Amino acid sequence: MLLRFFVFFMVEVPTGSMLPTINLNDRLLVTKIYNMETSIKRGDIIVFDSKELNKLLIKRCIGLPNDTVEVKTDGSVYINGEKRDEPYVVNNQIGAQKNFKVPAGHYLFFGDNRSNSHDARFWKEPYIPASAIQAKARWVMWPFNRFGALK
């Protein structure tokens, strides 16, 4: 019980917004994050509390504090002027260009399945404060045929 409270816990994924990295109904082992500045990196898969949607979400960290993030009309992502290699993205959504300037102490999150992910690109408040971040996803624990570390 104490380990769960202080170190890790399990989450079940209720949507396909992170396909193919995380499947619908996968169960993940996640570890609590205590130092945001050194623990979160671009590309990490993070569990956070969405005040706007009033639930825990799991998405990939795209923007760090003070980053400028551009989503081009072809769906490609540029961070601080450099194109981001995103091999984990499927079904890249084509549409209007969007620009984000991540405030200090906040992060920006998108799903991997871009055409089927209700993420920061569509939220009224796209930036998640560090205080809302719960954990980093580490392992798929179930189903057993998908057991392994997340990338």
* Residue 42, domain CATH: 2.10.109.10
Place of tokens 């920006």: 108
Confirm whether 31 is domain-assigned. Answer: yes
Q: How many Cα neighbours within 13 Å face the side chain of 104?
A: 0
Confirm whether 102 is domain-assigned. Answer: no
Q: What is the 3-state secondary structure (H, E, C) of 40-103?
A: CCCCCEEEEEECCCCEEEEEEEEECCCCEEEECCCCCEEECCEECCCCCCECCCCCCCEEEECC
Assess contact for 26 and 140: CB atoms under 8 A. yes
Confirm whether 47 is domain-assigned. Answer: yes
Residues carrying an active site annotation: 17, 59
**How many domains would you assign to the chain?**
1
What residue numbers bound the domain in which 37 lies? Answer: 2-63+107-149
Confirm whether 126 is domain-assigned. Answer: yes
Chain Cα centroid distance, residue 45: 5
Confirm whether 8 is domain-assigned. Answer: yes
Confirm whether 74 is domain-assigned. Answer: no
151 residues of the chain, pLDDT tens digit each: 444 455 777 788 888 999 999 999 999 989 887 766 668 999 999 999 999 999 999 999 999 999 999 999 999 999 999 999 999 998 787 788 899 999 999 999 999 999 999 999 999 999 999 999 999 998 888 888 888 888 8
